[in-house]
Chains A and B, each alone.
Chain A
């Protein structure tokens, strides 16, 4: 047990040194943990995740060591197992109030698998569901001729991939800029922001499938519901990052995030899904020369 004595001696000599413990995090001395956090920010514990968030911070710097022109560098972004991807999807669909999606699920292992394939699935789901719903809405009409509308797939792909990659880029740039002015406790890397946005889009996949139902009320209720769920994931992720800033800027940032998210949903619904027409029974309006004119709205 000589190594333990050495470690204890080193720690006694330099109590501020950070230590990595392989065992359960309860063995990290309490005085050291409180030194790493400012006093009075206990609520960060819940938002930052469980105790081993310290450990993941320490381990984060050691992960991506391959140079960026090798294949292994990109393999580090796909270092997830099936159950991890399923966990992250579950976390985005059932947001736990008060828990930060990034700290709880991503934990310094952002992956590109989820965002890429969720966006791909969403593109095809929206195009296929829109096509199907238009088919059912116009089914009985004699003048309707079914067309696959394949061009809409490329439009959907452009819109969704632009949203899922450019908005995180802009948001990351904005947070970096604010970080240089105001010291924030919580800051995210670009990949973590891409991850959150990608996984938060998952709820729109079943929503798009359910949008086939040609009822306006049903569609808008579904949209509100999914907007609340994915919006809350985004808000709970980014609120701690802007909370320390000027109040108005923080609110404006979170508001813009929600607004863009809502714009995406509304835009998809309006463009890909035709409005379900309601056939009113024709009102009979007598004209001045006595004949009745039946109008169909």
Chain B
């Protein structure tokens, strides 16, 4: 600006021109108003968001979509379907059987809340619901494992089926843990990563144990 220091505008030179504001895109209000769209569009948009997150979980790569647009529909659907599939287990008495529906529900949600609190107390930068969202969505591989186990158990319940179920559950447990740490690990302080990852490991281990020990009537 050194060259402009000696520029002086004398008062008798008129300043002319045109000031126009180009009106290009529509105003932002019209883009986000979803009141007038058909219900089908609303539902499909949410379903597509949930479906996209499922795909992200199955092929975990570093993307912030899962974190940014969190929703809890997916975890709810997964939790309910897992709890339903864990019903129907054998029990000699009411006390000795597998987990009840409420127990599975409480374990998944309470466990996810405790892990989220733990990572926030250790100094994590992720928000509460984002972490719940990630932990809930990463139950998807284990739900798939439960489905496979029930199908295998339809065929028979001998040693071979047990080994197949064991391999499937271990693989899906590893997948779940790796997927959730891939999403959550970056938001933790570097010298406490193991402290945050271990409870996640324990959480999915307990769910895997419930899946593996499911015995039908």
A193→B193 CA distance, assembly (Å): 26
B195 at the interface (CB under 8 A from A): yes
Q: Which of A83, A117, A121, A150 contacts B103 (CB 8 A)?
A: A150
Q: Residues 30-41 of chain B: 1 if any A CB is under 8 Å from the residue's CB, otherwise 0? A: 000000000000
> Is B89 part of the binding interface, using a Cβ–Cβ cutoff of 8 Å?
yes
B121 adjacent to A148 (CB under 8 Å): no
Name A's interface SS: helix
Q: Is the CB of B191 within 8 A of A113?
A: no
Interface of chain A residues 211 through 264 with chain B (CB within 8 A): none
User: Which B residues are in CB contact (< 8 Å) with A85?
Assistant: 195
Q: Hey, which chain B residues are within 8 Å of A83, CB to CB?
A: 191
Q: B199 near A148 (CB under 8 angstroms)?
A: no
Q: Chain B residues near A124 (CB, 8 Å)?
A: 202, 205-206, 209
**Contact (Cβ within 8 A) A78 B92:** no
Contact between chains at A113 and B118 (CB < 8 Å): yes
Stretch at the interface among B2-10, B60-68, B94-102, B135-143: B94-102
Residue B194 interfacial (CB < 8 Å): yes
B112 to chain A, nearest CB (A): 14
Task: Report the separation of the CA atoms of residues A71 and B195 in the bound assembly, to the nearest whole angstrom.
Answer: 19
Asked whether A80 lies within 8 Å of B195 as measured between CB atoms, the reply is: yes
Contact status A147-B195, CB under 8 Å: no
CA distance A154 to B104 in the complex (A): 12
Contact B98 A145 (CB under 8 A): no
Q: Which of A82, A128, A131, A148 contacts B191 (CB 8 A)?
A: A82
Using CB atoms, name the residue of chain A closest to B206: A124
Within 8 A of B (CB), among A137-168: 145-151, 154
B164 sits at the interface (CB 8 A): no
- The tally of residues in B whose CB lies under 8 Å from a CB in A reads 31
Q: Mark contacts of A74-89 with chain B using CB atoms, 8 A cut-off: 1 yes-contact digit, 0 otherwise.
A: 1101101111010000
Is B96's CB under 8 angstroms from A147's CB? Answer: yes
Return the chain A residue nearest B104 by Cβ: A150
Among candidates A75, A78, A80, A148, residue contacting B215 with C-beta atoms closer than 8 Å: A148
Chain A 47-84, CB within 8 Å of chain B: the 1/0 string? Answer: 00000000000000000000000010011011011110
A74: chain B residues within 8 A (beta carbon):
121
Query: B-facing mask of A13-50, CB < 8 A → 1, else 0?
Result: 00000000000000000000000000000000000000
A183 within 8 A of B: no
B121 touches A147 (CB 8 A): no
Contact digits for B186-217, partner A, Cβ 8 Å, 1 yes 0 no: 00000111110011001001100110011100
Knowing A148-B97, A150-B103, the reply to whether A113 touches B195 (Cβ < 8 A) is yes
Q: Are A147 and B90 in contact (CB under 8 A)?
A: yes
Contact of A148 among B89, B120, B123, B195 (CB under 8 A): B89
Q: Do residues B210 and A148 form an inter-chain contact, with CB atoms below 8 A? A: yes
Query: Number of contacts between A and B (CB, 8 Å)?
Result: 70
Complex Cα gap A162–B136 (Å): 29
A147-B91 contact in complex given A78-B122, A121-B202, C-beta closer than 8 Å: yes
Alpha-carbon separation in the docked complex, A19 to B100 (Å): 61
Given the interface contacts A113-B118, A148-B89, A148-B214, does A82 sit within 8 Å of B193 by beta carbon?
yes
Q: Give chain A residues whose Cβ lies under 8 Å from the Cβ of B121.
A: 74-75, 77-78, 113
Assess the B191–A81 pair: CB atoms within 8 A: yes
Known contacts: A80-B195, A82-B195. The answer to whether A148 contacts B98 by CB under 8 A is yes
Asked if A120 CB lies within 8 Å of chain B CBs, one says yes
CA distance A3 to B206 in the complex (A): 59
Contact of A113 among B97, B103, B122, B214 (CB under 8 A): B122
Q: Which chain B positions have C-beta within 8 A of A147?
A: 90-92, 96-98, 215
By a CB distance below 8 angstroms, the chain A residues around B118 are 78, 113, 117
Complex Cα distance A266/B199, Å?
27
Chain B residues with CB under 8 Å of A146's CB are 213, 215
Residues of chain B having any CB pair with chain A under 8 Å:
89-92, 95-100, 103, 118, 120-123, 191-195, 198-199, 202, 205-206, 209-210, 213-215
The contact sample of 7 A-B pairs, CB cut-off 8 A, is A77-B121, A124-B209, A128-B209, A146-B215, A147-B90, A150-B97, A154-B103
Chain A interface residues toward B at CB < 8 A: 71, 74-75, 77-78, 80-83, 85, 113, 117, 120-121, 124, 128, 131, 145-151, 154
* Additional pairs, 11, CB under 8 Å, beyond known A78-B123, A117-B118: A80-B192, A81-B192, A82-B193, A113-B118, A124-B202, A146-B215, A147-B90, A147-B97, A148-B96, A149-B95, A150-B210
